[in-house]
Amino acid sequence: MHMRNNLPKPLATAPFTLDSARASGVSANRLRRKDVVHVGRGLYRPSDWSFELEAAARALSAASPGAWISHVTAARLRCLLLPPWLADSTELHLSKPRSLPSARRKGILGHTVLTREDEIESVDGIRISTRSRTWLDLARRLSVSDLVCMGDQIIRVPRMEFEDRSLPFDTLDGLRTLVGRHPNLQGVVRARQALDLMRVGADSAPESLLRLAMADAGLPEPDLQLALRDGDPKSPTADLGYRHRRIAIQYDGGHHLVDAQALSDRRRDKAFESAGWTVLIVRKEDLADGFQRTTGKIKRTLRTAWLDHPCASGFADAG
């Protein structure tokens, strides 16, 4: 009885290179069978393989010496904030320096770019653009607000207890330096616009979008991660707010509906209220209208807080 010559397990479960097939003892004739698909030069996959981004990127990187994974693919692998229409993208982007021929593989979006070595890194065996360079590469495709959301994520100061790191991925000055290196890159004007709007302290895309909506509505720029007790690391904090008017603004997304989180949020809000602050809760449904109702509410609350200020009547009389 003839036994089927199965592919070695590593090759049967994910895309693979010609070199890895040879190293596993797989012949050229074996690669011509129907259970193997020739993706492009030096790159193959099992015919029944279900797409998985990391596996595809790993094989593409291995088969492309001198090139690196970039753009949307890099953003997804690095869990950078992308707009909903790109969040589940299966695009495969590969960048190469000008000294190498452009990428011409079926299903691969190739880019020939000018870059520096410190804008590329190797992560778990995959050669990939840094988070900061990925942000800049996407400036030609994303809106300014989307670039602000991603940029805020890159420059935010992490919480050691949750993320096992204490330093941001980059700083605002670091991103400015990067943009300054590439004055002719497509999208660089949009990147500069985004830099002027980015701030340290936003913990999520909705928080960044809320801040931008407040600016568009003519509201004063809020403080971010505003502590009830300034200087106390254990103090409850507000996502945004105005200390001088004792207004705390909290964006409560879907995870805040979990019982334990909801209880923690309520304790946090009670602490602010007990100290005489007004607490405004913003929810996912407010995001749907671009925070129009929310910004109106914030304006009214600021006006009321000003009228309640001990000096307000004196100002009014002086006018």
pLDDT tens-place string over residues 189-219: 999 999 999 999 999 999 999 999 999 999 9
Q: Which tens digit of pLDDT belongs to each residue from 153-167?
A: 999 999 877 788 889
The confidence band for 47, taking pLDDT boundaries of 50, 70 and 90, is confident
The confidence band for 3, taking pLDDT boundaries of 50, 70 and 90, is very low
| Mean pLDDT across the chain | 88
Q: How many CA atoms lie within 13 A of 107 on its CB side?
A: 15
Domains of the chain: 11-52 (no CATH), 54-196 (no CATH), 202-317 (3.40.960.10)
pLDDT at res. 311: 52
Phi, psi of 39 (to 5 degrees): -75, -40
CA separation for the pair 208, 314 (Å, rounded): 36
Evaluate if residue 1 carries a pLDDT over 50.
Answer: no
The confidence band for 258, taking pLDDT boundaries of 50, 70 and 90, is low
pLDDT at res. 68: 96
Of 1-15, 54-68, 151-165, 211-225, minimum mean pLDDT range: 1-15
Pair 216, 275: CB distance under 8 Å: no
Q: Which tens digit of pLDDT belongs to each residue from 268-292?
A: 999 999 999 999 999 999 999 999 9
Evaluate if residue 62 carries a pLDDT over 70.
Answer: yes
CA separation for the pair 165, 150 (Å, rounded): 18
Give the residue with greater pLDDT, 175 vs 100: 175
Evaluate if residue 39 carries a pLDDT over 80.
Answer: no
pTM: 0.82
Evaluate if residue 123 carries a pLDDT over 60.
Answer: yes
DSSP β-bridge partners for residue 279: 248
Pair 301, 247: CB distance under 8 Å: yes
pLDDT at res. 186: 93
Helix (H, G, I), strand (E, B) or coil at 170: coil
Phi, psi of 204 (to 5 degrees): -160, 165
